């Protein structure tokens, strides 16, 4: 396998959020996975989002962070961007809380615009709002530029979850000092990878924050914890529940793509069928593009129109299956698939063709994270999945990562660092004040905490919920279950803050 091929396929996996890599040989189609929560095919939409109607008022600032928090080497610092709003903060004299969002693997402005819940509840709590950017993403680049930061394994070696959590803790400590707010309680928020960071930060730095809302946080999606086929089974079930024929058309399409691609002028025909801007060089590119869409659709199958990843209708999988199923007589399988996937990539009808090499949110750093410590084994089951069958092969994945970055993954490190095996006992013994919220339509829910652990480590699970929908801005179309879920979260956060005030009332006078 060539280096360029691996880079392309690794870039097209889902992570935060899960893009799927596909390779084809004389063997059945194989999916080689380095999962991603949000990927390169997600547009930087210029359409107003629901959160933009909140008229977010914040100041953009920069904080000089250490490159390595865990050594005493004299290394250069880098500017960490963060967004801060004190518009509704009641101030240090009233011990006003600080709402701190743990930045994900991308531009922090984009995440701030799509986390309306935090901004909406800040006034009722009198809270300061802070959105820090994750190192190596957006404008928070070490070494002066992305080109230098991503240059090789040496410069990328400081891109880890541990360093990011240390960034957040150092920034918070500095902010509290500058605002004379050392007694002000901090509540962490995060969705997807950011939700993982929020939960881990509460466990690792309990003196920094009093609680965490970790939405769609798959902290168990690691080696030998959940079945590796879980993610793709959930994606498949989301489609199957809408239409068994839709599920079957998608399942059949992979063989159709393979056979077409092997014929004379087959790649050209596939390029035209799917309106790809540049001539396809292999079917691998098309596999990744299609499978990314299906996984994203499962993640953001919200009950109302949204534009988080792409402009989409409400219940988007239902609309996709409707277009796949309702093709007139004589419509080929691949034509049906194009009509369906067009809902995801071109619902507005503005695109004339599709580019397969794009990264509008600057998330390519996740390739490194997936090849080092964020190793999430995934497989596809022939019987239960609509994707081609694949058995996870760590040796092959290790070889590809070494070819790409010159490093070998450490699949056991994350669970050693943060826990994972027997997580229920660990959280019950050592954890407190964490909300794990999940919607069962979200394929990442299979790797999250779906049961209450204790009175203060709770799991909020909704059958119709998708990827961190609770953190999105409220709308007039919110279903009753979502309104109820957010009220529960607000009540739990109120209790955390109230208990903090009660326990510390001798220290300060509110």
Cβ–Cβ < 8 Å for 246, 235:
no
Q: How far apart are CA 120 and CA 382, in angstroms?
A: 44
- Does 4 qualify as catalytic in the annotation? no
> Considering only CA atoms, which of 306, 295, 307 is closest in space to residue 44?
307
Q: Is 467 a catalytic residue?
A: yes
Cα separations in angstroms, 12 against 32, 37, 171, 265, 296: 11, 11, 33, 25, 12
The one catalytic residue in 442, 468, 470, 478 is 442
83 three-class SS: strand
Q: Would residue 192 show up in a list of annotated catalytic residues for this protein?
A: yes
> Dihedral through CA 278, CA 282, CA 285, CA 290, nearest 10?
100
Residues 6+ away with beta carbon under 8 Å from 123: 88
Three-state DSSP state, 404: helix
How far, in Å, CA of 452 to CA of 221, rounded? 18
Compute the distance between CA of residue 448 and CA of residue 399 in angstroms, rounded to an integer: 28
| Number of CB atoms found within 10 A of residue 25's CB | 8
Give the whole-angstrom CA distance, residue 364 versus residue 154.
17
DSSP per-residue string spanning 302-316: -SS-B-SSS-B-SSH
Maximal C-alpha separation, the chain: 81
To the nearest 10°, report the CA torsion of 174, 470, 472, 121: -60
Active-site choice (467, 468, 470, 478): 467
Type and span of the H or E element at 213: strand 211-215
Catalytic site residue from 49, 51, 85, 192 = 192
Burial (0-12, 13-18, 19+ Cβ within 10 Å), 3: exposed
Q: CB 77: neighbour CB atoms within 10 A?
A: 11
Q: Strand 59-65 vs strand 78-85: parallel, antiparallel, or unpaired?
A: antiparallel
Please report the beta strands in 133-203, taking only residues with DSSP state E, as ranges in sequence order. 186-191
Q: Using alpha carbons, select from 452, 442, 470 the residue that is nearest to residue 14.
A: 442
Catalytic residue IDs: 192, 442, 467
């Amino acid at each position: 396998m060539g280096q360029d091929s691996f880079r392309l396929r690794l870039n097209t996996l889902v992570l935060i959020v899960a893009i799927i890599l596909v390779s084809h040989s004389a063997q059945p189609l194989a999916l080689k996975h380095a999962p991603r929560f949000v990927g390169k095919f997600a547009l930087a939409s210029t359409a107003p989002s629901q959160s933009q109607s909140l008229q977010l008022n914040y100041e953009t600032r920069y904080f000089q962070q250490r490159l390595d928090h865990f050594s005493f080497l004299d290394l250069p610092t880098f500017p960490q961007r963060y967004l801060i709003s004190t518009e509704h903060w009641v101030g240090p004299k009233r011990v006003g809380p600080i709402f701190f969002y743990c930045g994900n693997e991308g531009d922090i402005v984009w995440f701030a615009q799509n986390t309306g819940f935090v901004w909406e509840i800040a006034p009722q709590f009198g809270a300061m709002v802070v959105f820090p950017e994750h190192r190596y993403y957006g404008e928070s680049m070490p070494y002066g530029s992305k080109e230098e930061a991503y240059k090789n394994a040496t410069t990328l070696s400081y891109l880890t979850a541990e360093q990011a959590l240390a960034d957040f803790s150092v920034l918070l400590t500095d902010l509290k000092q500058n605002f004379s707010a050392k007694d002000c309680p901090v509540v962490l928020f995060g969705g997807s990878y950011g939700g993982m960071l929020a939960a881990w930060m509460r466990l690792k730095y309990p003196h920094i924050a009093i609680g965490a809302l970790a939405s769609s946080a798959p902290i168990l999606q690691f080696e030998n914890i959940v079945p590796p086929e879980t993610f793709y089974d959930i994606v498949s079930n989301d489609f199957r529940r809408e239409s068994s024929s839709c599920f079957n058309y998608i399942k059949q399409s992979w063989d159709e793509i393979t056979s077409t691609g092997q014929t004379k002028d087959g790649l050209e025909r596939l390029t035209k069928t799917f309106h790809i801007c540049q001539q396809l060089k292999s079917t691998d590119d098309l596999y990744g593009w299609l499978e990314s869409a299906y996984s994203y659709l499962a993640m953001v199958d919200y009950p109302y129109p949204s534009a988080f990843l792409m402009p989409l209708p409400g219940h988007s999988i239902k609309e996709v299956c409707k277009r796949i199923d309702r093709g007139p007589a004589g419509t080929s399988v691949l034509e049906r698939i194009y009509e369906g996937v067009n809902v995801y990539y071109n619902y507005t009808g503005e695109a004339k063709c599709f580019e397969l090499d794009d990264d509008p949110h600057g998330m390519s750093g996740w390739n490194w994270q997936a090849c080092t410590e964020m190793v999430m084994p995934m497989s596809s089951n022939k019987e239960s999945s609509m994707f081609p069958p694949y058995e996870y092969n760590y040796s092959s994945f290790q070889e590809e990562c070494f070819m790409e970055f010159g490093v070998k993954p450490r699949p056991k490190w994350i669970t050693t660092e943060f826990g994972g095996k027997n997580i229920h006992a660990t959280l019950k013994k050592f954890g407190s004040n964490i909300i794990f919220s999940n919607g069962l339509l979200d394929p990442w829910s299979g790797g999250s905490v779906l049961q209450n652990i204790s009175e203060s480590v709770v799991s909020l699970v909704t059958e119709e919920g998708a990827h961190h929908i609770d953190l999105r801005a409220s709308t007039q179309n919110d279903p009753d279950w979502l309104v109820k879920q957010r009220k529960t979260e607000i009540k739990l956060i109120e209790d955390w803050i109230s208990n903090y005030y009660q326990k510390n009332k001798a220290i300060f006078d509110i």
